[in-house]
Structure 1
Amino acid sequence: MVLRRSLTKIIVALGLFVGTAPCFAQRAPGPFNRLILEQVNSMPKGGQYSASRAATLRLQRAAHFESGIFTVAPNFASPSYCSGATYLVFIKTIEALRARDALRLDLATLQSLLIRDQRDGEGIWGRWNANGPGTARLFKELDLGQNFDDFANAQPGDFMKIFWSPEVGKAEHGHSVIYLGMEKKDGIDHVKFWSSNIPGGYGEKSVPRSKIVYAVFSRLDSPQNLARVSRMAATDSYLARLLSTRSNRREVRDECGM
C-alpha cells in the first residue's frame, strides 16, 4: 500500500512537471506574407543582372509617385540588382494595401519611399540598399516587423539578407532576396528564393543550404509604422559606416533587435 501511494505521488508529480514545462512557440505567421508573394508573382522574369549606375537610374524610373499613387513599373528596372528588386516588391506591397484601403499614409511618408541618390544608411532606400542588415535595421527603427536569424522560423514571403561569407560590412558578399521555402534536391537541403540574380535578373533560384553562412529574415507585420519615418534619423550611422568598416553577427543581432 505504501509503495502504491509513493508511485502515485511520483506519477502525479511527473504529470505536473510535464504540464508546466515551458512551451517555445514559433513566431506568429506573417499577416502580409501572402500579399508579398502575390507581388513577387506579378514581377517580370529575366532582364539580366547589373549593379551599375545605369541600373539605379532605371530603378528610379520604375517607381514614381504621381497623383497620390505609387506607380511601379518593374520592366523599366532592367537590368536590375537584388536590393532594387526586393525594394520594388516592398513598394508594390505598400501600394496594394493602400489600393485596398487597408493602409493610409500621408504624402510626406509616401515621398520618403522614393528612390533618389541616397547613400548607404540614408533615408528608407539608403537603408534598404546598404551593406549589412539594411532591411532588418529599417524594420527595427520603424518597428515594421520581426527580425530573426533562425531558418526554423522562416516563412515564404519573408524578406531575407543572405551572407555568402562570414564577412558583414566592408568586405561582405551578400544578397537581398525574398524567401520562398526549403526543398530537397538529391537528398540535399536547398533554400529557394526570389530576387534579381546573377546573371539572368528577376526570377527564382535554389541554392544548397550549406552555401549560406548566415541569414537575417525580416517579416512585415506593421506597415502602418512607416508613418514614423519623420522621427527617424536622416542617416543610420551603423549602416553608413559599413561602407568602410567590418561588422559581425553579434553586432547585427544587437542593431536589429534580435
Structure 2
Amino acid sequence: MSSTPSSLKLEAAPAPLFEELPSRTAEDAGETRHHGSGHRARLRQRLLEGGPEALLEHELVEYLLALVIPRRDTKPLAKQLLAEFGGLSALISADPESLMRVPGMGETTIAALKIVQATALRLLKAEVTARPIIASWQALLDYLRADLAHINVERVRVLHLNSKNMLIRDELVSEGSIDQSAIYIREVIRRALELGSASLILVHNHPSGDTQPSRADIAVTRDIVEAGKRLNIAVHDHVIIGAKGHSSMRAMGLL
C-alpha cells in the first residue's frame, strides 16, 4: 500500500512589535541628537552681515565647535568651556591637556581652538613686524599678552631688534614651573652676537597674575644690561606679562 508524503507548509514568525535598535557606541552615547540647523544658519547670517561683534562670546565658541561637531548642540559645551577657563582669551590659550579634561572635548575640538589661537598670534605678530617696535609698542603688548598672559608655566622670551628697531627674531629661551624659569646671561648675549642684534627686549610672564618684578627679575635684568653695554647691545626693556596686564621695568625706573 503506497502513501504520498504530506506537503509541509512553513509559516513566517510574526513580526515583533518593536524593532531592536543596534547598540550605541561610547562615542554615540556622548552625542546629543540636534536639529538646530536653523539656529546655526541664523548665527552664520549674523556673523556674515554684522561681523565678529554681532555674536556674543559663547556664540563664537558655539559656532566654532558646531563646525567640528555637526550633530550636537554645542551651546552647553561652549558655555561650560568659557566658565571653566574664564573667558575666550584664556580658553583658546589653554594647553591641550587641560582642555582634554573637559567632558565632551577631544582632539578635533581642541585642534579647532588651537587653530584659532595660531591664526590670532600670526595676525598680531604681523602688526609687530611691520614697523619699528618703538613705534608699535601697543601692538607688541597685544601680541605678548595673547601669547603669554594665560599660560600656567613661566616662560622667558627674548626679542632681538636690528639697528632700526625692527624685530629680527622672537625666541623662547626658557620654560619653567608655575613660579620660576631660568635665564642665562651668557646665552642671551651669545645669541645676540650670532644674530647681529643691536638691541633686546626681555619678556616673561607671571602665571600668578601679579606683574610686579621680583628681586631676581631685577638683578638678572641689570646683569644683562651691563653685559650688553660692553658689546654695544642695548636692552630697551624687560616686560612682565600677567592675566590682568603688564609691567615695564623701564617705565618703573628699574633699568
Structure-1-length-normalised TM-score: 0.27
TM-score normalised according to structure 2 size: 0.27
Bigger-Rg structure (1/2): 2
Which is bigger in relative contact order (C-alpha 8 A, separation at least 6)?
Answer: 1
Determine which structure has the larger helix proportion and give its number. 2
